[in-house]
Every structure is written in C-alpha cells, then in structure tokens.
Structure 1
C-alpha cells in the first residue's frame, strides 16, 4: 500500500500529513480522541488557551500509556509465572510416571 496525503484538524488547526494508507483510520481516530478530550477538558476546567488544553491532553494520554505498559508488563510476569508452574507440574508428573 502507498502513502496518501490527508489533513487532520487538532485544536482548530489543520495539519497536512503523509501517511501509509493502512494508518489513515488510526490517525483519524486518534485526532478525534484528542479533540474530544480537549473539548471535555475545556468544559470541565473552563480553560480557553489551546496550548494549555493540548498540554493537559498530552499528559492524560502519556499517563494512560504508562499505565498500559505497566499493566502489560505485570500480565507478562503473571503469564511467565504460570507457565513456570505448569512446567514444574508437568516435569513432576512425567518424572513420577517413569
């Protein structure tokens, strides 16, 4: 698939982008999430400065990303521990069967 040119509106500013065609849906969805979050923050805190709203939005998504990374890491550790336990049980089972 090739590159396409699109225009994304974030915080009332238009950004022309060249992206891979298969990324278009993700990029447009991300822009919508950002704009929705900005609107929510603007209503909740009565902030008018777009720079402040963008900074708050970035902080929100960066925090969410860090939480997701920690959760994935913990889940990986849990899975590895369970695999180790299962391996031990199988080793015990097969060693007793001989």
Structure 2
C-alpha cells in the first residue's frame, strides 16, 4: 500500500508524518498512549515541563520494551529446551525399536 500524510499531536505539538497506510492506526494509537501517559504524569506528579514529561514517557516505554524482550528471550529458551528434550526422548525411543 502507499504512503499517506498524517498529522500527529504529541504533548501539544503537531508532527506531520508520511506513513504507510497500514501503519496509520498503530501510529495514532501510539500517540494516544503517549498523550495519556503524559496526562497521567501531569496529574500525579508536580511536573509541568513537557520535556520532562516526554522523558518520563520514553523511560516508561523503553523499560516496558526491554522487559518484554527479556520475557520473550526466556520463553524462547524454555521452548527450545523442551523441544531438545523431546527430540532426545524420541530418538531414544526409536533407537530401541
């Protein structure tokens, strides 16, 4: 699909972007998540500077991403271990036949 031009508002600033049509919804949802997080930080902390709020958002989402990546790595390793053990059991079974 082709590219489209959209405008995204983050922290009261408008950013014109060219995106693939299939990415538009994801980008708009991401902007909404960021703005919601900024609003939450404004309400819960005595921070008003947009730069500080954006930095806190970046830290939050970067931390979440790293945690998710670590979880996937651990789960992939566990699955690999189980597949390896299953393969060994099957090999032993068929060698006895």
Q: Which residue of 1 aligns with 2:58?
A: 58
For structure 1, list consecutive stretches of 5 or more residues without a partner in the other structure.
none
Q: Which residue of 1 aligns with 2:71?
A: 71
What's the CA shift string for 1:24-70, capped at 9, x where partnerless? 00000000000001111111112110000000000000000110110
For structure 2, list consecutive stretches of 5 or more residues without a partner in the other structure.
none
- Give the TM-score taking structure 2 as reference length: 0.98
Q: Give the secondary structure class of the aligned counterpart of 1:46.
A: coil
- Give the TM-score taking structure 1 as reference length: 0.97
RMSD between superposed Cα atoms in Å: 0.5
Q: Which runs of 4+ in 1 moved over 6 A?
A: none
Q: Give the secondary structure class of the aligned counterpart of 1:47.
A: coil
Q: Which residue of 1 aligns with 2:11?
A: 11
Q: Which residue of 2 aligns with 1:93?
A: 93
